[in-house]
Structure 1
Amino acid sequence: MCEDDHGIGRRALFVTGAAAALTLGGVTFASGAHAGAADDQETRTVRGTLPTGSPDFVYLPVEVPAGVAEIKVSYTYERPSVPAGTAGNALDIGIFDEHGTELGGRGFRGWSGGARTEFFIRSDDATPGYVPGPVRPGIWHIVLGPYTVAPQGLAYEVTVTLTYGKPAPAPEPVYPPSRARGRGRAWYRGDCHLHSWYSDGRRTPAEIAALAREAGLDFINSSDHNTHAAHPHWADQAGDDLLVMLGEEVTTRNGHVLALGTEPGTFVDWRYRARDNRFGRFARRIRGAGGLVVPAHPHATCVGCGWKFGFGEADAVEVWNGPYTPDDEVALADWDSMLVASVRGGHDWLPAMGNSDAHRDPDRVGSPQTVVLADDLTREAVQEGIRAGRSYVAESKLVSLAFSASGAKGEHAGIGERLRVAPDTPVTVRLEVTGAPRCTVRLVTDQGTLFTSDPLPVAGSGTVEWRTTASYAAYVRAELRHETAAGPVPGALAAFTNPIFLGAAKTP
């Protein structure tokens, strides 16, 4: 074993095409001296310290000679005590192969963030989160991501082990189909934000699929952090009763975005901040691969979670994420403000979603879930329903809504649609609810909450009607709220709908 110190004085600063990054001195091996010696190994260990203010990504070049069957990497770092309110050390890790580290390039081979202390890659297998395939000769790069750095600095140690020998045959990936057996045009329930053990989740795809079926879901979306490595591992879990879409949670330092329903094997880079002006390029990458761009938990309070890229590239927004909390309430209010701006400015509106973001027990898959009116249970049909806003969000399979608006001459519109009536034509808004005992209905418009019902009966079913005009309400959407003991503060959501628009569309 050889050891080397990579002190900060040996760094070289370069620009990847986005944020500045740090490249350390390279790690070298025997340049093929062991090639052909089956199971022979070489190991190198490097150490260094990163100061506060380090770039987002630190690259450790590794010269990989010919004849390598497996590369294995492990790392540790110090976690000193810090004063209350001060961020401690957190260090993520991943790797790029001989194709390089170019932003959006071909070199990505895996990322585990802070979820693992070691990983391996070989032609036939890899640690979850990493992409199997040949370990070809050339300069590979281990990427360290100093998520937060303590005032004392971040002291790390990285160990690289190469195993020589003949690589095993690489299996051909198999992906889940893009359709399941649907019910024609119908309401389909889904959860599009789920994490498996291919990132920082603790559940296998099989366990997630079983929980999805138990939750009454018709479709799910694979969304592991910053990797597409899970995509080939979902084929066995799909079935006539469950559509499995493939994607990624693109986890940047300025917010997270769901790539929802991309083509199998699509990787979307995450190494940029809002100030780098690169997000539009990767939003187009998502859509070019057949996916939707959905900012996730935009007002979450975790480091790097708050959304700072704006919503100009979004196809929908995740307003409700997991158990209902104050940041979801803020996201709901912010989304409603965007609706108001859209109707007053005469521009496109942004539909809302809700997903579980489930990682491990006791996280509940399908709580909440997005219920979509789609022409069939296919990837394209579900995406089209989400993009059009023909959906509502419910806390579980027990809650069902039917929401509509009708005019005096038989005009009718449902969720995400427009009721085209004259400004002063009477409009009847109707909400039918099941599965929501003691919940209160609120009808919200561009003028605010204009109707609040009495609590529904213990049986949980009821119908609410409200009359208005297009001149009084440019849109109306429904909320179903639990009881609360906080005075005027509304209770947690049990469900909410996307809006129904009233009257003729305003042109900009």
Structure 2
Amino acid sequence: MCEDAHGIGRRALFVTGAAAALTLGSVSFAAADGQDHGTETTATIRGTLPPGSPDYVYVPIEVPAGVREIRVAYTYDKPPVPAGTQGNALDIGIFDERGTEPGGRGFRGWSGGARSEFFIRADDATPGYVPGPVREGTWQVALGPYTVAPQGLSYELTITLTYGEPGETPAPVYPPERARGRGRAWYRGDCHLHSWYSDGRRTPAEIAALARAAGLDFINSSDHNTHAAHPHWASEAGEDLLILLGEEVTTRNGHVVALGTDPGTFVDWRYRARDNRFGRFARQIRRAGGLVVPAHPHATCIGCGWKFGFGEADAIEVWNGPYTPDDEVALAEWDNLLVASVREGREGRNGREDRGWIPAMGNSDAHRDPDAVGLPQTVVLAEDLTREAIQAGIRAGRSYVAESKNVSLTFTASGERGRHAGIGERLEVPADSPVTIRVEASGAPRCTIRLVTDQGVLFTSAPLPVSGSGTAEWHTTPAYAAYVRAELRHETAAGPVPGALAAFTNPIFLGR
């Protein structure tokens, strides 16, 4: 065993754009010559990171030829801190000899703060890490000081190399891009889910079983900052469940769901809004066939609030998990974006490519018990149950969000000469032409139906009966309402404050 100590030297700091990273001195191991199969050698590295440390600190490991497995364990101190002061939290991951360049090929895994140790070898790896040969060269253990106490953050890394034949890496098998659908129909999905391949506590099999129980037709794998789960979903897909592959890209300035990317796509997360790098990775998501969906934009956890703007968004996750005040704020912000699209003449289009209006969606962000998969769920009108069709429906805004499989909505606008439009569409009639808005709801006992326009809430129904089913109609003109969207709200005990959502729709735009 060898030991080393690391302190932060000013010359080790390098800056790219506005973001800083730190590379420490390297750790070397003996060559494999003369090492028996299965021999292990270990190095222990200790250091202290001060408050204000860079977002990422790299510890280079010089790996010789002939290594079969690399194993890393770490600990760090958690001293008491004054009330209202952040304590220590240290994330971890690793890059191989191909380097740490953002968006490069060197990524081999990330577990954030979910695990205290991990291993990588050709035939297997800890969940969150990518199996493959442990090749000779400079590997980099990546430390992410998420928060640092005033006393600093003292850490200890233990690196263990095992020598021997490398073994073979299994060829990945991915879930199919098609399930047996019902043709053009409404399909229910949850596109923000975490397994034990990041900080979740459920296996893919457990998540798939819960998705089926929640009445879902499709889900999207979205583990934090890793694509390692992608090959482990194939056995859970079936004719009744379409499984899309993605990632929750978890930066220090907000999180974004890469929804339905090509299998094996890794999207880097090591940048902040001030670095002006997000557009590059948003374009990578789209080149890989995915959608860019900012997640929980007003969540209150550190680093969770969305700071990159919505110019690259294909949709916005307005509702995340059980309905809370930050979802209400996100809903209001999204509604303001709809008004802006009307003002700027973009409401007749949708999708980021032509700078159109941005649809909303909702997902559970479920991690572990008792988190409910499918609370909420996005209900999408798609031509079939395929990756391409589901993404097209989301991108077009042909969708609504419901708290469970029990809640269903039909929302339409009709005008003169038999013209009609549904969710995400436009009713093209003259500005002074009468328009009838109709909502049919089921599965929402005692909820009220609200109709929201660019002016605000212009209609609120009486509470639905205990059966949960009912209908509401409202009459307007395009001159009075540029768009209309529907909400189902639970009863409230806070006076004028609206109750929690049971469902809401994307808008129908009115006028030519």
- Normalised to the residue count of structure 2, the TM-score between the two structures is 0.97
Aligned counterpart for 1:391 among listed residues 385, 392, 399:
399
Measure, in 2, the Cα distance between the counterparts of 1:109 and 1:10: 28
Contact 1:59–1:141 under 8 Å retained in 2: yes
1:381 is matched with 389
1:310 is matched with 309
* 1:430-481 deviation digits (Å, cap 9, x = unpaired): 0000100000010000010000000000000001110000000000000000
Aligned-residue offset at 1:17 = 6.2
Contact 1:34–1:40 under 8 Å retained in 2: no
Aligned-residue offset at 1:18 = 6.4
**One-letter code of the match for 1:162?**
L
Measure, in 1, the Cα distance between the counterparts of 2:94 and 2:416: 63
Measure, in 2, the Cα distance between the counterparts of 1:473 and 1:157: 62
1:435 is matched with 443
Measure, in 1, the Cα distance between the counterparts of 2:408 and 2:11: 58
1:176 is matched with 175
CA change 1:447–1:243 in 2 (3 A) is: same
Aligned-residue offset at 1:408 = 2.2
Contact 2:61–2:138 under 8 Å retained in 1: yes
**One-letter code of the match for 2:9?**
G
Contact 1:439–1:480 under 8 Å retained in 2: yes
Measure, in 1, the Cα distance between the counterparts of 2:68 and 2:50: 35
Measure, in 2, the Cα distance between the counterparts of 1:56 and 1:10: 15
Would you say 1:319 and 2:313 are equivalent positions?
no
Measure, in 1, the Cα distance between the counterparts of 2:18 and 2:99: 15
Aligned-residue offset at 1:182 = 0.4
Aligned-residue offset at 1:211 = 0.1
**What secondary structure does 1:409 align onto?**
helix
**What secondary structure does 1:431 align onto?**
strand
CA change 1:326–1:62 in 2 (3 A) is: same
Identify which range, 486-495 or 14-23, moves more after superposition. Answer: 14-23
2:215 is matched with 216
1:32 is matched with 32
Contact 1:10–1:24 under 8 Å retained in 2: no
* 1:414-438 deviation digits (Å, cap 9, x = unpaired): 0000000000100000000010000
2:246 is matched with 247
Measure, in 2, the Cα distance between the counterparts of 1:20 and 1:160: 25
Aligned-residue offset at 1:20 = 1.4
1:455 is matched with 463
Measure, in 2, the Cα distance between the counterparts of 1:15 and 1:452: 54
After superposition, residues 231-242 of structure 1 pair within 5 angstroms as: 231-242=230-241
**What secondary structure does 1:380 align onto?**
helix
Measure, in 2, the Cα distance between the counterparts of 1:11 and 1:3: 22
**What secondary structure does 2:94 align onto?**
strand
Contact 1:11–1:22 under 8 Å retained in 2: no
Structure 1 unaligned residues grouped into runs of 5+? none
- Structure 1 runs (4+) deviating above 6 angstroms are none
**What secondary structure does 1:8 align onto?**
coil
Would you say 1:59 and 2:65 are equivalent positions?
no
1:160 is matched with 159
Contact 2:32–2:163 under 8 Å retained in 1: no
Identify which range, 160-169 or 198-207, moves more after superposition. Answer: 160-169
After superposition, residues 86-101 of structure 1 pair within 5 angstroms as: 86-101=85-100
Structure 2 unaligned residues grouped into runs of 5+? 347-355
The percentage of counterpart residues that share the same residue type is: 82
Measure, in 2, the Cα distance between the counterparts of 1:65 and 1:232: 29
Aligned-residue offset at 1:32 = 2.8
Aligned-residue offset at 1:33 = 3.4
CA change 1:137–1:34 in 2 (3 A) is: farther
**What secondary structure does 1:4 align onto?**
strand
Measure, in 2, the Cα distance between the counterparts of 1:101 and 1:118: 20
Contact 1:16–1:103 under 8 Å retained in 2: no
Aligned-residue offset at 1:8 = 2.0
Contact 2:74–2:157 under 8 Å retained in 1: yes
CA change 1:441–1:352 in 2 (3 A) is: same
**One-letter code of the match for 1:471?**
A
* 1:222-248 deviation digits (Å, cap 9, x = unpaired): 000000000000000000000000000
Measure, in 2, the Cα distance between the counterparts of 1:8 and 1:410: 72
1:368 is matched with 376
Superposed CA RMSD: 0.9
Contact 2:192–2:257 under 8 Å retained in 1: yes
**One-letter code of the match for 2:431?**
P
Aligned counterpart for 2:417 among listed residues 409, 412, 431:
409
**One-letter code of the match for 1:388?**
A
**One-letter code of the match for 1:223?**
S
Measure, in 2, the Cα distance between the counterparts of 1:190 and 1:376: 13
**One-letter code of the match for 2:341?**
S
Measure, in 2, the Cα distance between the counterparts of 1:446 and 1:60: 53
Aligned-residue offset at 1:34 = 4.7
CA change 1:311–1:10 in 2 (3 A) is: closer
